[in-house]
Structure 1
Amino acid sequence: MQVDTAIIGAGAAGMMCAAHAGGRVLVVDHARAPGEKIRISGGGRCNFTNLHCTPDAFISQNPHFAKSALARYTQWDFIELVEAHGIAWHEKTLGQLFCDTSAKDIVAMLLRMMEAAKVQLFLQTTASNFAKNNGLFTFDLSTAGKTQHVTTRNLVIATGGKSIPKMGATGLAYDIARQFGVSVTDTRAGLVPFTFAEGRFAPISGVATPSKITAGDASFEEALLFTHRGLSGPAVLQASSYWHDNEPITVNLCPNTDIFAALREQRQISGRRNLTNVLAQHLPARLVDHLCGQFDLSGNLADWSDARLQTLTEALQNWVLYPSGTEGYRTAEVTLGGIDTKELSSKSMMSSAIPGLYFIGEAVDVTGWLGGYNFQWAWSSAMAAAHAISND
C-alpha cells in the first residue's frame, strides 16, 4: 500500500490531522472504534476546548513551544468548526465548553470530515517494523492475521501517552521516537488523584468542599473531594501536574471565607456554642469531625482567644499534607512529558532531524490544564502538522 501520509492513532489529534492533511491519507489504530477518549471525556459530553486557552495553561520543558500552534489554530477556530457542523454546546465553569448532547457528536464530526477527505481508516490494526529508506517511511500493518506493507512520504505519530491503559493507551509513540533517534523526556501521570497511606481519608470518603490546593509554585481554586484512597476533585487533579514525589501540598479549606472574622463574630453572638458546631456552618460536618483528630477543636467559642482563632485559621488555610503518591496512569487524564520539543519544529510539529516524521497531541511534551486545554492542544498541533503536510 502506498499513501502520501500515514497517521498512527485515531484519537482527537490523529483524526483532526487526517481530515486536513490532503492527498492519500491512511489512519491506523488498534482500538475497536475511533476517538474512544473523546467518547468518554467530560462525563460523555466532551469538554472539547476552553474559552481561556492561552500558552500559560500548558506545562512543558519549553514553555514557549506551544505558542505557535495555539496561535494559528485557536479555540475560536474549533468553536466555529463545531458550530458549522450543527453541534450545540454550552459553557460550564471557568470557560469549559461541552457538547449539549453527547461527545459522540465530536467523533461523528471528525469521521464525516475524514470521509469527505477520502481518508482510509484501519481499526483493530497494529503497526510495526517502522523504518525510513530512500526518503520514504515503511511499516507493516496487521489486521485479522493479514499483513500489508505500507510506504508513505509522511508519518504522523498521534498515539497519545500512557494514561488510562484500559482504553488501550501504550507508550508506542515513545518507542517509535526512540527507534528514529528522537529523544523523549521523562513521563509521569498528570491530572490524577493523590493517594495517602493507610486510608487516611477513608472515613470521610465522598465529602467535597471548595478549596485552594498548592503544589510547587502553582495553586488552583476549585472543588476538593476526599476518597477512600486519598484526595481527588478538580483542584487536586490540577495541582497533581505540578507535584513531584515526596513533596508536600498545601490545602486551603476556606479560600472564599474570612474564617477568622466569621468565628470572632460568632463568638460575640453565640459564645457558648461549641467551636465544632460553628465550624460546621462553613465546612462539611463530617470534615469538621475529621479535623478534630488533626487539630484541637475542643471547647466553646467563648474559650477561644483571638490568638487561638488566628492559629486555627492559619491551620485551616495552610494545611500541609504529604501524599504517598498518585493513582498513576490507571486513572490519569494525561501524561506529562513525552517527545522532547527540542526535537520538533513548533510551527509544523515535524522532527528537525527526520523530514516527514511528525508527532502531535498528547505524545508531545506539552500538557494542558484540566478543562478542555488538552483537547485544544490536540486540535492545534494536528492542524500545524496538517498545514505543513498539505503545503509540502
Structure 2
Amino acid sequence: MSSHFDIIIIGAGAAGLMCGATAGERGKSVLIIDHANKPAEKIRISGGGRCNFTNIYCNPKNFISENEHFAKSALSRYSPEDFIQLVKKYNIDFHEKTKGQLFCDGRSQQIIDMLINECDNYNNEIRLSTEVNGIEKFNNCYAVTTPNQTLTADKVVIACGGPSIPKMGASSFGYKIAKNFGLNVINPEPALVPLTFTDSLKEPLKTLAGVSAGSRVENENISFDEALLFTHRGLSGPAILQISSYWTAGSHININLAPETDILKELKLARETSPRQSPKVWLSQYLPSRLAEYITSYIKQIRLADMNDKALINLALMVNKWHVKPAGTEGFRTAEVTKGGVDTKELSSKTMEAKNVPGLYFIGEVVDVTGHLGGHNFQWAWASGYVCGKEI
C-alpha cells in the first residue's frame, strides 16, 4: 500500500471526488480519504434521494460570501452544462423540476457511482473509514497522520465540508486545519435551515403543522417567492430555507401568503358583491382551508358585510404583511449547508490554493461560499473541485 502521493484529498464528497477525478485525468497520483464508511453521503440524501445535482440557471448571484466575486472564476470555468454532459455520458436520466433544478429520474446513488467510476478510471485510491489525526508541512511535503500510518503528499486538498447534518458525519475538521495553518475562518452558521417560533407563537400555530402555502418571504435585503411549510416548531419549506441564509438573530422577516393578490382590494370588492359570505370561506379561495380558518378565527363578524374597513385592513395585513420575529433556527442538525467557512481572502479564486501556504487547497462547502437552494451548492462543489483538480 503506497504511502506517498502527488495529492491527498481529505473528504470523499462531491467536491473531493470531482477534484480527484480531474487531477487523476492529468496523470496525478491521488488518494482520497474519508472518515465515513461510505462516500458522498450528502449526495445520497439530497433531493429526497434523487439528487438535485445542478441548476441550469446557476450564476454568481446565487451565492453568499464575504467576497461576492470569489466564485465567478470557478463557475465560469465549469458550468452546469459541463456537469450535464458528464451525466449524459453515463446515460443517467434526469428532469427539470422547477426553476432550473435538475434531478435524477432514478436514485442519487447514480451520481455517486458516476463520480466513483470517474475516479477509478484515473486510478484514484479511495480509503474510507479512515480518520485524519493531523496534517503538517515539512519543507515541500505534507504529512497526513492516520491511526495506522503517516501518509505524505506534495499537495493536500481539504474537501471535508462543514458541520451541517452531523448525522452524516459532518464536522468542523476543515476549519481546524485552516486555523492550524494560520488561515482566517468566517464564523460558520447553519444555512438553508428551518426557522423556529417563540413559545408565544408556537402554541397557537401548532394546529397548522403540515400546512403548506405559496408565499413571498423577505427581509430588507432579498425576497423569495416559493412555498413555505408550517411545522410543530416553526416554519420550513423552500422560501424559509432560502431566507434563513440571510436571516440574523433578533431580526424580523415579512411573509406574504398571497403574493399575487391585493387582499384588501379584493376584500372590499367581495364585501360589496358577496356580503353574505363568511371571511373564512372567502379567504379559502386564496389559502389552504386550515390556514384560512386560523387567520379568521379571531374575527367576530360572521359575514363580510359586517366587517368595517379597519377589520378588513387587519385581515389583509395578516395575509399580505405577516411580520414575524423567529426565535432561532433548527441549527446544524437539519441545516442543508453551512454559511461561512475558510475566508476567501486567503485563497486564490483561480486555483483554490491558500495564498500563504503553497500546496494547501480548500474546495466545496468548507469555503465561505454558500449557494441558494436548488442545486447551486452542488454546482459550486463541481466547479471548485474541477478548477482545483485542473490547477493543482
* Interval of TM-score (by shorter of Structure 1 and Structure 2): over 0.9
Contact residue 215 and residue 240 of structure 1 kept, 8 A: no
Contact residue 276 and residue 297 of structure 1 kept, 8 A: no
Contact residue 263 and residue 320 of structure 2 kept, 8 A: no
Q: Kindly provide the CA deviation profile for residues 369-391 of structure 1, in whole angstroms up to 9, marking residues without a partner as x.
A: 000000000000001101111xx
Q: One-letter code of the match for 1:5?
A: I
1:13 alignment partner in structure 2: 15
TM-score by length of 2: 0.95
> CA 1:286–1:34 in structure 2 vs 1: closer, same or farther (change >3 Å)?
same
Decide which of 107, 110, 114 is 1:105's aligned counterpart. Answer: 110
Structure 1: distance between partners of 2:59 and 2:364: 16
1:197 alignment partner in structure 2: 198
How far did residue 217 of structure 1 move?
Answer: 0.8
Q: Kindly provide the CA deviation profile for residues 97-143 of structure 1, in whole angstroms up to 9, marking residues without a partner as x.
A: 0001110110000010000010010000011221001111101123x
Mapping 1:271-350, distance limit 5 Å: 271-292=275-296, 296=299, 298-306=301-309, 308-350=311-353
How far did residue 318 of structure 1 move?
Answer: 1.2
> CA 1:124–1:274 in structure 2 vs 1: closer, same or farther (change >3 Å)?
same
* Higher mean C-alpha deviation, range 194-203 or range 73-82: 194-203
Q: Kindly provide the CA deviation profile for residues 45-100 of structure 1, in whole angstroms up to 9, marking residues without a partner as x.
A: 00000011010110000000000000010111111111111111100001100001
Matched, 1:369 2:372: yes
Mapping 1:132-151, distance limit 5 Å: 132-142=137-147, 147-151=148-152
Matched, 1:217 2:221: yes
2:74 alignment partner, SS class: helix
Q: One-letter code of the match for 1:348?
A: T
2:158 alignment partner in structure 1: 157
How far did residue 261 of structure 1 move?
Answer: 3.6
How far did residue 305 of structure 1 move?
Answer: 4.2
Structure 1 residue runs of 5 or longer lacking an equivalent are none
Structure 2: distance between partners of 1:328 and 1:102: 27
Structure 2: distance between partners of 1:28 and 1:376: 22
How far did residue 308 of structure 1 move?
Answer: 4.3
1:13 alignment partner, SS class: helix
Q: What is the aligned-residue identity percentage? A: 50
Structure 2: distance between partners of 1:350 and 1:73: 17
Contact residue 275 and residue 297 of structure 1 kept, 8 A: no
Contact residue 134 and residue 146 of structure 2 kept, 8 A: no
2:341 alignment partner, SS class: coil
Aligned length in residues: 384
Decide which of 124, 127, 133 is 1:122's aligned counterpart. Answer: 127
Structure 2: distance between partners of 1:79 and 1:45: 15
2:176 alignment partner in structure 1: 175
How far did residue 288 of structure 1 move?
Answer: 2.1
1:387 alignment partner in structure 2: 390
Mapping 1:54-69, distance limit 5 Å: 54-69=59-74
1:185 alignment partner in structure 2: 186
TM-score by length of 1: 0.95
1:90 alignment partner in structure 2: 95
Contact residue 255 and residue 317 of structure 1 kept, 8 A: yes
How far did residue 297 of structure 1 move?
Answer: 6.3
Matched, 1:207 2:211: yes
1:127 alignment partner, SS class: coil
RMSD over aligned Cα atoms: 1.3
Q: One-letter code of the match for 2:21?
A: A
Q: One-letter code of the match for 2:372?
A: W
Contact residue 163 and residue 169 of structure 1 kept, 8 A: yes
Structure 2: distance between partners of 1:297 and 1:370: 41
Structure 2: distance between partners of 1:373 and 1:310: 39
Q: Kindly provide the CA deviation profile for residues 146-180 of structure 1, in whole angstroms up to 9, marking residues without a partner as x.
A: x1111101100000001000000000000000011
Q: One-letter code of the match for 2:268?
A: R
How far did residue 306 of structure 1 move?
Answer: 4.9
Contact residue 5 and residue 154 of structure 1 kept, 8 A: yes
Structure 2: distance between partners of 1:18 and 1:274: 63
Structure 1: distance between partners of 2:272 and 2:198: 41
Structure 1: distance between partners of 2:236 and 2:301: 29
2:269 alignment partner, SS class: helix
Q: Kindly provide the CA deviation profile for residues 9-33 of structure 1, in whole angstroms up to 9, marking residues without a partner as x.
A: 0000000000011311000001111
> Runs ≥4 in structure 1, deviation > 4 angstroms?
305-308
